[in-house]
Amino acid sequence: MSDWLWMSASELGRGIGAGRIDPVELTEAYLEAARRHTHGQRIYVRLTPERAIAEAQAAHARARTGARQGLLDGVPISWKDLFDTAGTVTEAGSLLLEGRVPDADAEVLVHARAAGTVCLGKTHMSELAFSGLGLNPAYGGNTDPLPGTPPNVNDPALAPGGSSSGAAASVAFGLAAAGIGSDTGGSVRVPAAWNDLVGLKTTHGRLSLKGVVPLAESFDTVGPLCRTVEDCARLLAVLERGVATELGGASLSGARFLVLEPYASDVRDGPGAAFSGALTRLSQAGARIETGRVAGIEEAMGLSPALFATEGYGTWRDVIEAAPDKMYPRILERFRGGKDFSAPDYVAAWRRLRALRALWLAETAGYDAVLLPTVANLPPDVNRLMTDPDYYVTENLITLRNTRVGNLMGLCGLSLPSGVASCGVMMLAAPMAEDRLLRLGAAAEAVLT
């Protein structure tokens, strides 16, 4: 039974369908593992055992009568603590929302429940989702980063990546078959990369944000963190009540990729070497790889403060300023940076960004995807992040630099393990091109891992 904890969600689903795995026993195994794990309370804010067992029992009954709702019916997954869960405290990693209990499930959770997946519980995250590092001392009294900061699977002393930190850790440590997170500037792909998982950033607007605690709704997206590309494809279908992308026969032969400069080469040694090795393997598998720049991306990156922080602060200003002492100072500073821009600044930035998005699409139209190291740095030390404010700022900025390209340009993105610990390879594709992206990802996965 312990082997079940390390199987992919799709493998578990096939086992349930074949009668080899009982959904109730599987759910109990995950719940017990989470309760007993050394880092369990650093990964899950709270488990939902009564709900999980009830959903597993329903899945068991459907399996016995041949009425399963799909491949993932009966498979237990975790949910980032910004997805509303009826009757369960949902605080988005912030004491500002302490005791908040929604009346209804988020729409994507409704869809997941209809597909038969089992909700194990809610996972820790960066405060109000506004950090790529995954550090959350607010839940530890602002002096101790535990238990609000989940561990990194490769070294518990290192940052897990955020803001979907617990979602990644729940999968990486064998405490969930998959995790559902959100990505506004890299919050699915960063923790996926640093914990050697697959992370899918969906196109903005593809998946419902109803019942999702916002950071910046113009950029917020929902996405899964998984062991395999197949799991990402199947969970995307579950979350939107669609049909999973067919991955059979996926190939890199003839695929054309653009390696984006300077973001591909201006990285730290570890991610740089891992990316170089990955490019070699992709090329050997038949991919055509070119290196180049895209006009306007630097200008778009320069618009980031006027867009992300401004919308975030506009969304949360009244709540924040009513009790700023409840926030971790580094996160508070980031939100308050939104005060520096006027409404005309914000409108002008969006008008310019829309023009730059059109330029990006025109200049990348001949490529199947753009390639980058998912993250330009390796996971930093948590203790140093806590004691060195300048280090926190510089590491957070470089952590989100590459992933933010996809959010600014309105793209879908996929982070794949490179085969080197905590180093991911990212593919960025055109808006709503998830099907093509997932097929490319499946073919790349076969040669990278």
Q: Does 187 qualify as catalytic in the annotation?
A: yes
Active-site residue flag, 80 = yes
- Strand segments, DSSP code E, in 322-399 are 369-373
Q: Say how many residues make up the chain.
A: 449
Residue type present at position 306: A
Alpha carbon 178 to chain centroid distance? 11
415 in catalytic set: no
The alpha carbon of 430 is separated from its chain's Cα centroid by a whole number of angstroms, namely: 18
Backbone φ and ψ of 200, nearest 5°: -110, 120
User: Which two tokens mark 119?
Assistant: 């909700």
Question: What does the alpha-carbon distance between residue 267 and residue 371 come to, in Å, rounded to a whole number?
Answer: 14
Residue 98 φ then ψ, to 5°: -55, 130
Residue 327 corresponds to which amino acid? M
Active-site hit among 187, 304, 418, 422: 187
Q: Of residues 10, 78, 80, 422, which has the active-site annotation?
A: 80
Q: Report how far residue 300's alpha carbon sits from residue 407's, in angstroms, rounded to the nearest whole number.
A: 10
Q: Phi/psi at 388 (nearest 5 deg)?
A: -125, 95
> Beta-carbon neighbour count of residue 292 at 10 Å?
12
Structure tokens at 381: 């030390």
**d(C-alpha 376, C-alpha 36), whole Å:** 34
Distances (CA, A) of 372 to 53, 92, 314, 424, 435: 41, 29, 32, 9, 19
Kind and range of the H or E run holding 416: strand 412-417
> What distance, in Å, lies between the first and last C-alpha atoms of the chain?
25
Catalytic residue among 10, 94, 131, 163: 163
- Whether the Cβ atoms of residue 150 and residue 169 lie closer than 8 Å to each other: yes
Positive or negative: CA dihedral 108, 110, 111, 116: positive
428 burial level (CB within 10 Å; 0-12, 13-18, 19+): buried
* Residues assigned a catalytic role: 80, 163, 187
